[in-house]
Each structure stands twice: as structure tokens, then as C-alpha cells.
Amino acid sequence: MLIATDKDIRPVVRLLARADRFNRLTKACPRRYRRAFYRRKDQALVQALKAGGGQFTVDSVTHGRQLMLGLTHVSGRRVHVPVHRMPGEIQLLLHRLAADAGHPYPLLRLRGTGPEPCLDSEQSGTNRVTIISTNSASRRPHGRYQR
């Protein structure tokens, strides 16, 4: 069990507040700025997850247009993370957090079999993670007129 001090928690809470601010700005801004605000929100979430990955617990999984994880920080702040918009190392962290919480497993199909996903680094000495399949929703057409 990780014991997080206030000194460890404060920067992560600041990053989560930044992501929440970008999320609110996205809803209030004109459409042409939304993609930029979503990108900045995702960057803030990535930084928060890198800084305090062990400080989060997964409490919900939402399957819809995209796979979303509901994470709760030890400070009580709650965020929803779009799994497939995150970089590979963060996806692996989210995958392990969800597996530890007992949510439907696996969220990602990683190379290897068994309870733990197999990293390429365990076989070839590199630090690359191979994600074999992604969310099927990412292959659907986007836009106003969907087929």
C-alpha cells in the first residue's frame, strides 16, 4: 500500500485541477478551439498519471463510443480518462490499475498470455510496449454524417 504525503499529492492535484479547467473551457468555447483544449486536457492528465500513478484507483469502466476509466485520486478528486487517447505507457498503467481493482480484464490486448501483460522489454531488452488491438470505436467514421 502506497502512503502518499501531502508533498507528493499537491502537484498531482494541481495537474488534475488544470485538466478540469481545460475540460470546462472546452464546453464553453467555440467549436474550432475544442480540439486544442481537449489535447491540453489530455496532456495534463498524462502528466498527473506519470507523477502519481500509484495514487489512483479505478472505480468505474464505461464502454461507449470510447473506453473511459473513472479514476479517483487519494485526495478525493475524480476524473474520467479516455484510455485510447493516452500514450502506450499510460495505457499500460491504466490497464494494471483496472486489473488490480478487479474490473473487466483485459482492457487492452497486450502481447502475451496470463494474468500479467507481457512487455517487449522482457523478451528483447527494449522498453517498448506492443498494443495489439485498440478500441473498435476508433475505426468508426466521425463527423456529422456517419454511415
Segment 50-54 shows an average pLDDT of 87
CA distance linking residue 115 with residue 107, whole number of Å: 12
Residue scoring higher pLDDT (8 or 37): 37
String of b and e for 107-128 (b: at least 16 CB within 10 Å)?
Answer: bbebeeeeeebebeeeeeeeee
Q: For the chain, what are the domain ranges?
A: 6-139
pLDDT of residue 83: 87
Q: Cα 42 vs. chain centroid, distance in angstroms? A: 9
Whether residue 15 contacts residue 54, with contact meaning beta carbons closer than 8 Å, is answered with no
**Confidence bin at 88 (pLDDT 50/70/90):** confident
pLDDT of residue 66: 83
pLDDT of residue 38: 92
Strands 56-62 and 109-110: unpaired
pLDDT of residue 31: 92
